Amino acid sequence: MAAFYARIAECSGLPVMLQNAPPPMGVGLALERVAELARAVPGIRSVKEEAPPSGQRITRLTELAGDALDAVYGGAGARHLMDELARGAQGTMPACEITGLHVAMVAAWREGRHDDARLLYERTLPLLTMQAVFRWRLTKAVLRRRGLIGSDFTRAPGPALDTQDRRELDLMLARLADLLPWA
């Protein structure tokens, strides 16, 4: 596995981010293995840790990898962002339906305005919870409603939003309207 990542780093000439996602999306590597890879492959500069509990795993990975990594990021739709930031994550890499709000949360956190970051986070939780169920279908539905894309078609299988789900989504977006740019 180390040879694989070393080859990617060598061929790309770019820093590599290892995404450690649990099944069914990934394999969920043990943290010891992730740290070992980071130490063995200088091109691996960061990790996106998504296996639960991500906050605890970020703490442990930071301890295990030491200065072999420049950064560790959270994922999982930013549903655990406050815990991840409190444990040393540099940010998050969620889906893109409310990117501006995630940027604002991380910026507020980095500026020491933790209460402001938490208020934004708490306002987004209903939407992030719904996104955990509907995944890309919800992400694309939000982007379409915001006028950022023309279709919410997805190739990936998954549950479809029914009439009540769409009503609920519209209510959630109405509660976030003052925070979101609309096209």
User: Which residues belong to the active site?
Assistant: 48
Q: What are phi and psi of 148, to 5 degrees?
A: -90, -20
Q: What are phi and psi of 47, to 5 degrees?
A: -135, 140
d(CA 26, CA 19): 8
Length of the chain: 183
d(CA 73, CA 50): 9
Q: Is the peptide bond before 94 cis (omega within 30 degrees of 0)?
A: no
Q: How many CB atoms lie within 10 A of CB 36?
A: 17
d(CA 98, CA 126): 13
